[in-house]
């Protein structure tokens, strides 16, 4: 049995039984913070913003989807598109200078900011439901398990609405998520890999559900299906070992949890995996740090013009 495989199995078992070494405690975000004025509120010579409002199938959650479209003509194959989870928080990190930099690239992307229909930077309750997979156990105090329904909403309502507004390249679609959003990115890749071509998981909550996503990944690895996708797994070096939020009371992660996952997923045929660490950045700081590299990578991707 290869040593990397043994380490991965050990990681999964440790998370299931709750054995790991605690080091850092995750800082909790300010859940009352609102977005205020953003780049979407001022006319831009580079990008045009429009809104789309939707309701979940069960009628419990309302969404505000912001679509940022480059003002220049689309490439012959259509614009590449990046779908950002926690769209309000991402919107707060955008500025006119960044949009101007994107607009002069050969492949300026369309930005789709998946948000809730309120002015909260982070809607803790609704994202806890939409971004987490269905599990047989209850995790924390918030409702969870709506990831598959949320992905269905993206596939059947959001994507068609974006395509009706903007000329997009259906073969150059990226899904980006941080924390619970990163968990959603990985779950989508493992269960519906053809939904997107590029997946960017930033500080994914691997601890969630006692390592639910690691167990899901191992089941896929055991089947070894051919995939055609690109996963970028990005981690802040300051929190390679950290506890789950105290309110969750879950297991801690070993230092190489994400790196081990990346190595194992890279064994799947057709799946390109890039693992990157940002030295000195903690969990919260990674949300901001991972936006510009994601956008620049798409804008400069030569494959988008093929």
pLDDT for res 253: 67
pLDDT for res 72: 94
Task: Using alpha carbons, select from 62, 179, 48, 191 the residue that is nearest to residue 110.
Answer: 48
pLDDT for res 6: 53
Q: What are the C-alpha distances in Å from 85 to residues 42, 90, 115, 121, 245?
A: 22, 8, 7, 12, 20
Q: CA 9, CA 204: separation in Å to the nearest integer? A: 19
**178, 187, 230, 283: which is the annotated catalytic residue?**
283
Q: What are the C-alpha distances in Å from 229 to residues 32, 41, 270, 273?
A: 37, 35, 7, 9
State pTM to two decimals: 0.88
- Evaluated on CA atoms 240, 246, 248, 252, the torsion sign reads positive
pLDDT for res 238: 78
Please name the residues in contact with 136: beta carbons below 8 A apart, sequence gap of 6 or more.
none
Dig out the tokens for 94 from the structure.
């955008």
pLDDT for res 106: 87
Task: Using alpha carbons, select from 294, 299, 292, 303 the residue that is nearest to residue 104.
Answer: 299
* Phi, then psi, of 111 in degrees rounded to 5: -105, 125
* Phi, then psi, of 32 in degrees rounded to 5: -95, -5
pLDDT for res 300: 84
Q: Do the bridges between strand 271-278 and strand 229-236 make them parallel or antiparallel, or are there none, so unpaired?
A: parallel
pLDDT for res 28: 53
pLDDT for res 11: 52
Q: Which residue has the tokens 């779908």?
A: 83
The structural domains of the chain, with segments of one domain joined by +, span: 3-305
The ranges of the chain with pLDDT < 70 are: 1-31, 136-140, 239-253, 302-306
Q: CA 198, CA 200: separation in Å to the nearest integer? A: 7
| Whether residue 283 lies in the annotated active site | yes
**239, 243, 251, 260: which is the annotated catalytic residue?**
239
pLDDT for res 32: 82
Topology, domain 3-305: Rossmann fold (3.40.50)
**179, 205, 251, 260: which is the annotated catalytic residue?**
179
Q: What are the C-alpha distances in Å from 128 to residues 125, 147, 237, 244?
A: 5, 9, 25, 14
pLDDT for res 18: 43
pLDDT for res 76: 93
- When the pLDDT of each residue in the chain is averaged and rounded to a whole number, the result is 87
Q: CA 273, CA 262: separation in Å to the nearest integer? A: 6
Task: Using alpha carbons, select from 222, 211, 182, 176 the residue that is nearest to residue 83.
Answer: 176
- b/e map 49-85, b = 16+ CB within 10 Å: beebebebeeeebebbbbbbbbeeebbebbbbbbbbb
Q: CA 115, CA 110: separation in Å to the nearest integer? A: 16
Task: Using alpha carbons, select from 199, 220, 173, 180 the residue that is nearest to residue 273.
Answer: 199
Count the neighbouring beta carbons within 10 Å of the beta carbon of residue 140: 16
Q: CA 51, CA 22: separation in Å to the nearest integer? A: 43
- Burial zone of 97 (CB within 10 Å; 0-12 exposed, 13-18 middle, 19+ buried): exposed
């Amino acid at each position: 049995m290869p040593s990397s495989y043994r380490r991965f199995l050990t990681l999964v078992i440790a998370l299931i039984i709750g054995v790991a070494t605690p080091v850092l405690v995750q800082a909790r975000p300010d859940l009352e913070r609102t977005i205020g004025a953003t780049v979407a509120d001022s006319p831009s010579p580079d990008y045009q913003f429009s809104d789309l409002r939707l309701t979940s199938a069960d009628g419990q959650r309302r969404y505000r989807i912001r679509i940022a479209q480059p003002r220049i003509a689309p490439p012959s194959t259509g614009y590449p598109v990046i779908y950002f989870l926690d769209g309000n928080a991402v919107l707060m990190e955008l500025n006119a200078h960044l949009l101007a930099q994107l607009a002069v690239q050969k492949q300026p992307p369309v930005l789709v900011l998946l948000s809730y229909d309120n002015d909260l930077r982070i809607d803790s309750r609704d994202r806890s439901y939409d971004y987490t997979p269905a599990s047989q156990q209850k995790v924390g105090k918030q409702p969870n398990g709506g990831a598959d329904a949320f992905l269905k909403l993206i596939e059947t309502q959001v994507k068609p609405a974006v395509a009706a507004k903007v000329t997009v390249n259906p073969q150059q679609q990226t899904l980006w998520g941080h924390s619970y959003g990163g968990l959603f990115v990985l779950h989508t890749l493992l269960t519906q890999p053809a939904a997107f071509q590029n997946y960017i998981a930033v500080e994914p909550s691997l601890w969630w559900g006692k390592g639910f996503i690691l167990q899901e990944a191992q089941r896929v690895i055991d089947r070894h299906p051919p995939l055609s996708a690109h996963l970028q797994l990005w981690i802040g070096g300051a929190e390679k070992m950290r506890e789950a939020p105290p309110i969750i009371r879950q297991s801690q992660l070993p230092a190489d949890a994400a790196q081990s996952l990346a190595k194992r997923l890279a064994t799947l045929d057709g799946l390109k995996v890039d693992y990157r660490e940002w030295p000195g950045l903690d969990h919260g700081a990674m949300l901001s740090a991972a936006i510009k590299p994601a956008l620049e990578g798409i804008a400069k991707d030569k494959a988008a013009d093929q």
